[in-house]
Amino acid sequence: MLEIDNLRKSFGAKQALCGLSISVAAGNVYALLGPNGAGKTTTINVCLGFIEPDQGKVLIGDVDPATDPMGARAQLAYIPENVTLYGALTGFENLDYFSELAGKRYGRQDLNAFLARAELAEEAMSRQVKTYSKGMRQKVGVAIALAKQARLLLLDEPTSGLDPRASHEFSILLEDLSKEGMAILMATHDLFRAREAASHIGIMVDGALKAEMLAEETTSEEIERVYLEATKVGA
């Protein structure tokens, strides 16, 4: 569903991406682990078509976001670290509005079902979003992705600032989405949640992929060891 091939991008003298190659199949959750400045957000922005690479290629399905950004975005949804919604509107009203922007029209029952699948409590659906926690806002973001019928979900530091319970609930939600066939790329520096939520883990440092692992074949301790080795000064 997502193919990133030999991606390179520089900003002046700073080389943000150095030949990055990643593949995320339908039904997989790929956790892209790395410290701040590793190039994770730049990677997502290239996938969204916001930044054009200097070299290499990205395919969303069979669409290149560099040449057809709208066609690529039609197949994906993006949830940033802080989901931007309209605070004066309810969760239901935000979902209705953003669904229409994506060209989808649904009745009340369907919209409520999307919010329920995203694990938003029923009593919260009719409350103004300005009363929501960060985790609740993310759930509305997931509901928007479901309503959009996105095949690929891009996440940038989705568990940052969440308490342990909310982080765990979000990991379970990602697992459920992957079982339904959604491909997920999650940029994060949270080693524990990467091990919990992902099927595949890549460690990214200075714009390059330093290691890849299957989550089911490794332990949290092994991921930490590889991560610390990869991010060691002078490595």
Give the CATH number, domain containing residue 156. 3.40.50.300
Read off the pLDDT of residues 188-235 as tens digits, 9 standing for 90 and up. Answer: 888 888 888 899 999 999 999 999 999 999 998 999 999 999 988 655
Same domain for 215 and 155 = yes
Helices 164-179 and 134-148 pack at an angle, to 10 degrees, of 10
Q: What is the enclosing helix (H) or strand (E) of 210? A: strand 208-214
Same domain for 159 and 137 = no
Q: What is the pLDDT of residue 233?
A: 61
Same domain for 106 and 11 = no
Say how many domains are in the chain. 2
Q: What is the pLDDT of residue 93?
A: 97
**Whole-number percent of the chain with pLDDT over 90:** 74
Q: What is the pLDDT of residue 167?
A: 85
Q: What is the pLDDT of residue 151?
A: 93
Q: Are strands 55-60 and 76-79 parallel, antiparallel or unpaired?
A: unpaired
Same domain for 53 and 93 = no
The 8 Å CB, 24+ separation contacts for 225-232 are 227/33, 227/191, 227/203, 230/203, 230/205, 231/34, 231/35, 231/203, 231/205
* Residues 172/118, Cβ–Cβ less than 8 Å: no
* Residues 141/76, Cβ–Cβ less than 8 Å: no
Read off the pLDDT of residues 147-167 as tens digits, 9 standing for 90 and up. Answer: 999 999 999 988 887 888 888
Mean pLDDT of 54-75: 93
User: 111: closest CA among 73, 76, 146?
Assistant: 146
SS3 for 88?
Answer: coil
Helices 91-101 and 108-117 pack at an angle, to 10 degrees, of 110
Q: Which of 130, 149, 168 is the last residue before a domain boundary?
A: 149
Q: What is the pLDDT of residue 229?
A: 92
User: 23: closest CA among 2, 39, 45?
Assistant: 2
Structure tokens given for 112: 């409520």
Mean pLDDT of 4-18: 95
CA distance 83 to 140: 9
Read off the pLDDT of residues 29-40 as tens digits, 9 standing for 90 and up. Answer: 999 999 988 999
Mean pLDDT of 169-181: 89
Q: What range does the domain containing 16 cover?
A: 1-75+151-235
